[in-house]
Amino acid sequence: MGRRIEGLVVRVTGKEVWVEAGGEITPCVLRGRFRQKRHEFQIAAGDRVEVAPPESRRTQGAIEAVLPRRSWLSRYTGGRDAVERIIVANIDVLFVVESIASPELSYRFLDRVLVSAESGNNEIRICLNKIDLVEDQNGISQALSVYVPLGYSIIRTSAKTGEGVDEITDLLRGGVYAVVGRSGVGKSSLLNRIDPDLNLKVGRVAEKTGRGRHTTTYSQLFPIRGGYVADTPGMQTFGYPGRSKDDLPVCFPEFRPHGDSCRFRPCTHSHEPGCAVKEAVERGLIASTRYQSYKDMLTEVEIREKSRYT
Ligand SMILES: Nc1nc2c(ncn2[C@@H]2O[C@H](COP(=O)(O)OP(=O)(O)OP(=O)(O)O)[C@@H](O)[C@H]2O)c(=O)[nH]1
Ligand SMILES: [Mg+2]
Ligand SMILES: [Zn+2]
């Protein structure tokens, strides 16, 4: 067996992967099992890999192994390509970005990203961006009242005025970081504000639909403050990536204190009598928007599980 080097995947496009080791970037090809869809064979920005370095006659290295991931962000993509897709791996702090206006805050989408982030074992911060656009603070207080009790820190930011950006910068300490969220919420703009040298492409939000234009098209790690940050493309859908519906409730931190008190075990917290989670929703201890998100995702996973066995 030849010499192997260990490196960090900084970019994945089509069939080529860039691996950084010792300050040098080696372009690598994806061969054999690494072209399969199974997530242990997928390669994403942030993965640590073993590479057979290029020989004199070839200019590309070859990836030989992917090391186990500490954390990851993934989503389930539906359709013919139905599979869990890893977006970024080994993230130290994941910044989940939403905008308070233009586009308007989507509780549903935010919950989906948060659940996927929980399922991938991530340390999470929420960035509520574009606060320069709101005069009325009600929307912000409402969002805070739902997410702060769950234990998530919320950073109020504006990529335009720079407000709150230092709070993000202070958390960047030489590790791997990532921003994720819908198209147009300002992920690339925030990163440019932290480090103008990044010079990331920024898009416009369509006036009619309030939607972003998918300006960032693939995940890539950029050097930042002695570490790396991944800018990710805004995604239209964010399917729950977990294996089964039994893993879903633990991705809702506010369910944890109640889940053990349900009359039936296991309890899906949907139709069962004597469900402590449902009771907590009725008593206002769990936000109804969060419970609705849970039920939507549960239905989705149930449909997926059924189609797998028939
Ligand atoms: N007013 C205001 N506009 C912002 C702010 N952040 C971003 N924008 C604008 O929102 C639009 C979209 O910003 P991007 O940074 O491209 O958004 P993105 O999340 O990277 O979008 P994708 O790459 O498509 O996923 C641009 O017109 C930005 O100038 C902000 O804090 N305040
Ligand atoms: Mg972008
Ligand atoms: Zn229950």
Question: Whose Cα sits closest to atom 2 in ligand 1?
Answer: 130
- The residues near 217 (Cβ < 8 Å, ≥ 6 apart) are 233
Question: For domain 245-309, which CATH number applies: 3.40.50.261, 3.30.70.660, 1.10.238.10, 1.10.40.50?
Answer: 1.10.40.50
Binning pLDDT at 50, 70 and 90, where does residue 309 land? low
Cβ–ligand 1 contact at 133 (below 6 Å): yes
Query: In this model, does residue 279 exceed pLDDT 90?
Result: yes
Question: Whose Cα sits closest to atom 13 in ligand 1?
Answer: 186
Global pTM value: 0.94
CATH numeric code, 5-66: 2.40.50.140
Work out the angle at residue 80's Cα, subtended by the Cα atoms of residues 76 and 86, and round it to the nearest 5 degrees.
30
Instruction: Tell me the pLDDT tens digit for each residue of 108-163.
Output: 999 999 999 999 999 999 999 999 999 888 989 999 999 999 999 999 999 999 99
Ligand nearest to the CA of 189: 1
Q: Enumerate the H helices of the chain as residue ranges.
A: 107-119, 138-147, 165-171, 187-194, 256-259, 276-282, 288-309
91: closest CA among 178, 17, 221?
A: 178
| Residue 186 tokens, joined | 């300002």
From 189, 190, 222, mutation site for ligand 1 pocket: most ligand atoms within 8 A of C-beta: 189
Predicted local distance difference test score (pLDDT) of residue 187: 96
Predicted local distance difference test score (pLDDT) of residue 79: 67
Residue 213 CA, ligand 2 centroid: distance in Å = 9
Residue 160 CA, ligand 1 centroid: distance in Å = 9
Cβ–ligand 1 contact at 206 (below 6 Å): no
Burial state string for 5-17 with b = 16 or more CB within 10 A and e = fewer than 16: bebbbbbbeeeeb
Domains of the chain by residue range: 5-66, 72-231, 245-309
CATH fold label, 72-231? Rossmann fold (3.40.50)
Predicted local distance difference test score (pLDDT) of residue 293: 98
Q: By mean pLDDT, which of 172-181, 188-197, 228-237 is the weakest?
A: 228-237
